[in-house]
Structure 1
Amino acid sequence: MIGLVLAAGAGRRLRPYTDTLPKALVPVGPEQDGEAATTVLDLTLGNFAEVGITDVAVVVGYRKEAVYERKEALEAKYGVKLTLIDNDKAEEWNNAYSLWCARDSIRHGVILANGDTVHPVSVEKTLLAARGEGRRIILALDTVKQLADEEMKVVVDPAKGVQKITKLMDPAEATGEYIGVTLIEGEAAEDLADALKTTFERDPDLYYEDGYQELVNRGFKIDVAPIGDVKWVEIDNHDDLAKGREIACQY
């Protein structure tokens, strides 16, 4: 089991920070003792290290040179080995293609984390505890939060697993919100890669969650693991960033 971070996005709603940095490297914590400020990538690597994951693949694209520059320092700080995967279409296509770029890494079995999700290590621990009994893909699901239109909403059948995953849904129909962290077993890699390829070939602007939906439509069972009442945020804009900074300092 390795870690996988999608860190190729531009995050244009976070300018001016993202004029020179990918979203995953926008500071969510203060500088300390001369060290660079904590970022979402820092938090995620720290989580991975805490659960014993020492190999991490990071998909990079927009302003990827900033990640390359910090690679050695991040490896030393968190005791991990980073493999950087270039997404050549990061500024043109959405993240279904970005996850497909990591298809070879997924064969090892991964915990996937979006590069803009501030969350505690309890999420990784919950996913790892949910392994077994034939589960091949497990989504971290927030069943506590009050949902609105922007969230990635999920409908779950207790017996059949995920039935629908989309932002385009009445919040009242949803079981909960997918928080951007997934455990994917290696045996799911080939099926997932094919579903993602079908998805971005249909429309390059689609999300990898649309690839999950494609899998579900093919009869593949995707499971969920409720994360409980924990504080987390997906950072899309400056309001989210302020929340992320409040949350990050608690972990």
Structure 2
Amino acid sequence: MGKRLREAHTDTPKGFLQLDGRSLIEDSIFRLEQAGITNIIIVTGFCAGHYEQLAMRKDGLVTTVHNPRYAESGSFYSLYCARDLIDEGFLLLESDLIYESRALDVLIGHEYSDAVLLSGPTGAGDEVFVEAPTGLLVNMSKDRSKLGSVAGELVGISKISRGLFALLKHMAAEAFESTLQLDYETDGLVAAATSWEIACPAVSDLIWAEIDDPGQLERAREHVLPRLRLD
């Protein structure tokens, strides 16, 4: 559970927030299945048992791996915890998203083996802006003034090839000697982009929301979910 929402939801991970009768994680699994994904790995942390029970109900579709240091580490370390279960290219998703199926279709069908999905402006607050002047990742930041031309907002869904993941694992092993508080986006993908081409396809009218605080939850319920029902 994200720290900013944990006060209101003290006994469940953020992925189990209910919207329109279905949890975020179950909605994401549904869309992944519809896109043809047959192997889903969930890295667990807070209240991991919820995900383990979900995996048992999914008849082999879902595998869980626990990050025992979730309270003291960032998303890069969580990704690293799944390294022994990944031997091919994959889609990498955040657990606190609702999104339309087109998000997956764009990445799966993209010509580049490595891609980070962007959207148009959302005005949602806490946005991560992405600099990609030629369509390839250069930088990302929550502070727009630190970037050159902004190509869009980071959605939290990426396509990672086996080759890029090997590079990320190598980078992570070295970085973790100093700290585990690293994010795979800024500390992993941006660093890798200095020597590896990572595309940044932008869908200007993408329907999606990140839910990391009460304000974003309200926005998702009132403005995003009604549009997703038509997806």
Task: Kindly provide the CA deviation profile for residues 195-224 of structure 1, in whole angstroms up to 9, marking residues without a partner as x.
Answer: 23344444322211121112123x111111
1:99 aligns with 2:79: yes
SS of equivalent residue, structure 1 residue 162: coil
In structure 2, give the amino acid aligned to 1:169: R
Q: How does 1:44-193 map to 2 (within 5 A)?
A: 44-73=28-57, 75=58, 81-131=61-111, 135-142=112-119, 144-145=120-121, 150-158=126-134, 161-170=136-145, 173-193=149-169
- In structure 2, C-alpha distance between the alignment counterparts of 1:58 and 1:126, rounded to whole Å: 22
Over 3 Å counting, the alpha-carbon distance change for 1:202 and 1:141 in structure 2 is farther
The more displaced of 97-106 and 170-179 is 170-179
Q: Structure 1 regions of 5+ residues with no counterpart?
A: 1-9, 31-37
CA-CA distance at 1:51 after TM superposition: 0.8
In structure 2, give the amino acid aligned to 1:151: E
1:26 aligns with 2:17: yes
CA-CA distance at 1:83 after TM superposition: 0.7
Normalization by structure 2: what TM-score?
Answer: 0.88
Query: Once the two structures are aligned, what percentage of the paired residues are identical?
Result: 23
Aligned partners of 1:107 and 1:189 also within 8 Å: no
The more displaced of 15-24 and 173-182 is 15-24
In structure 1, give the amino acid aligned to 2:156: G
Over 3 Å counting, the alpha-carbon distance change for 1:137 and 1:66 in structure 2 is same
**Aligned residue pairs: how many?**
225
**Which residue in the other structure is 1:34 paired with?**
none
1:208 aligns with 2:184: yes
Q: Structure 2 regions of 5+ residues with no counterpart?
A: none
- In structure 1, C-alpha distance between the alignment counterparts of 2:38 and 2:179, rounded to whole Å: 35
Over 3 Å counting, the alpha-carbon distance change for 1:17 and 1:70 in structure 2 is farther
